């Protein structure tokens, strides 16, 4: 009798849509690593923070997480790294003194301005491959996916492991 195929039993992960999206992101980001990462002492997450601040002015770390989809811990590490390098400055939000606002320093803007043309070239390559109509269609599909996944918040498995208030979370591996 043939067993039902489970996700773990797939023969080729490159058929998985999420895997393919991640592969595409990695291929698009690859020139960043070879051209900019070591020269400017940046990770891809550092670049995402710089680019988001360059576009948005003063933002809270939570705003950066929302706009980029980054995990708060990764955003926090990148902000701390960029602050140590003198590329981001923290300041208190005058409307809510409990909240910090982040902004690029002159040094951060300078690094952004040096890397941005390369990022724009990658954007142009994607548009050149797809053409206007396909790029617009892909943008609409990506927006739909982003909105749907963001609305979910977490994966169902994560929700199942989260305990209601006042209760202990279930053991995810009962056999141990």
Say if residues 42 and 36 touch (Cβ distance below 8 Å): yes
- Looking at per-residue confidence, does 96 or 52 come out higher? 52
Domains of the chain: 16-114 (1.10.10.10)
For residue range 88-103, what is the model confidence (pLDDT) as tens digits?
Answer: 999 998 888 888 999 9
| Distance (Å, whole) CA 15 – CA 81 | 36
What's the confidence (pLDDT) of residue 111? 96
| Distance (Å, whole) CA 128 – CA 115 | 20
- At 169, the pLDDT band (50, 70, 90 cuts) reads very low
pTM: 0.75
What's the confidence (pLDDT) of residue 159? 46
Q: Which tokens belong to 24?
A: 């595409």
């Amino acid at each position: 009798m043939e067993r039902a195929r489970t996700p773990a039993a797939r023969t080729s992960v490159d058929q998985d849509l999420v895997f393919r999206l991640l592969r595409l992101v990695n291929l698009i980001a690859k020139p960043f690593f070879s051209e900019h990462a070591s020269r400017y002492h940046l990770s891809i997450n550092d670049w995402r923070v710089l680019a988001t601040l360059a576009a948005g002015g003063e933002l809270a770390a939570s705003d950066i997480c929302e706009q980029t989809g980054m995990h708060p811990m990764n955003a926090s590490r990148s902000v701390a790294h960029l602050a140590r390098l003198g590329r981001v400055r923290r300041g208190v939000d005058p409307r809510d003194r409990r909240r910090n606002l982040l902004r690029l320093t002159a040094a951060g803007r300078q690094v952004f301005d040096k890397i941005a043309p390369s990022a724009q070239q990658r954007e142009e390559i994607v548009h050149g491959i797809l053409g206007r109509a396909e790029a617009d269609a892909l943008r609409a599909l990506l927006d739909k996916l982003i909105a749907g996944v963001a609305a979910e918040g977490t994966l169902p498995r994560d929700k199942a492991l989260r305990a209601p208030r006042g209760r202990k979370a279930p053991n995810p591996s009962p056999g141990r």
